[in-house]
Amino acid sequence: MDSANPLSQLADIHLPEPVGFWPPAPGWWILFFLFCAAVFWAVRRYYAGWKLARARSFALAELDKQLAALRQQSADRSAEDIAALNLVFVSEVNAVLRRVAMKNFRHENFASLGGTAWISFLRDHGDASLLDDAMAKTLSEGRFARQWEVDTDRLYKMAHQWISSLYLARIAPDKSPKNASSKTPVSDHA
């Protein structure tokens, strides 16, 4: 018989391979997909807000362009010429407001609205607190008149406020100003 220790004939302990980085555990996969979804949602929301801010700035630039054209053409003109230019300005502001409405309310049938129905649409869908009765009458009837008294600065401010409130309500619905005189809040239509 062999007098050697039988334990010496055993093989040494095999250590397992060190834990590698790949493949990750299922919890890490879940965390990775949640992170990707959050990044996608944040980028998409930022892009949508950027597009709305860009559309808002374009609409306001168009409004500014109309006011600048009015002021440039009004220089050294007679009172009759200025009154005619003011009516052109009313028509141009109305056109800008309609284009903004068409961009934001594609599914509503407002393109054929005129008169008091158009004014109601403006009051219902944006901050129209500066849209008093005289301004409403100017927007609804002044475009078709031969002569009309128009406060172009008030009309510009009203249109600027309406356009801004419309886009700002869609960019940040929880921070949008509410119109006390309208039937529905601005953010309901965003």
Domain membership of residue 19 (yes or no) is no
More confident residue, 147 or 30: 30
Burial grade of 187 (CB within 10 A; 0-12, 13-18, 19 or more): middle
Across the range 5-9, mean pLDDT stands at: 81
pLDDT value at position 179? 47
Tell whether the model's pLDDT for residue 176 goes beyond 70. Answer: no
Q: Is residue 68 situated within a structural domain?
A: no
pTM of the model: 0.69
Asked if residue 53 is part of any domain, the answer here is no
> Which residues constitute the domain of residue 157?
77-190
- pLDDT of 92 reads 92
> Can you read off the two tokens belonging to residue 141?
């009837």
99-111 b/e (C-beta count within 10 Å ≥ 16 → b): ebbeebeeeeebe
What's the domain count of the chain? 1
**The two three-digit tokens of residue 64, written as one number:** 């500014």
115 domain-assigned: yes
Contact 156, 93 (CB under 8 A): yes
Question: Band of the pLDDT at 184, cuts 50, 70, 90?
Answer: very low
Q: Does 140 fall in a domain?
A: yes
Q: Is residue 156 part of a domain?
A: yes
In a domain, 145, yes or no: yes
Tens of pLDDT, residue by residue over 89-108, are 998 999 999 899 888 887 77
